[in-house]
Amino acid sequence: MRNNEKKKLHENLKQEIRSLLISSPKTKYGGLSGSLLYSDYKTLNSGKEIPCKLFIIKLRE
């Protein structure tokens, strides 16, 4: 893996972690709600959808 690829992967990972953390304090009981996680992820990742196939999950709206 080249340095450029590593740097890009690292930035993508930081964005995804940040999107998880931003959602966390907004819920009544703490933790993540599906709709907040989806909204924050999409906002912070230039409108990209959550890669559900990677996590083997199905989102309901």
- Summarised one tens digit per residue, pLDDT across range 21-56 is 666 666 666 666 677 777 777 787 777 776 665 555
36 falls within a domain: yes
- The token pair that represents 43 in the structure block: 């906002």
61 falls within a domain: no
11 falls within a domain: yes
How many domains does the chain contain in total? 1
**pLDDT score for 25:** 66
CA distance to 13, 20, 29, per residue, from 10 (Å): 5, 16, 30
pTM of the full structure: 0.40
Please give the residue range of the domain that contains residue 26.
3-55
25 falls within a domain: yes
60 falls within a domain: no
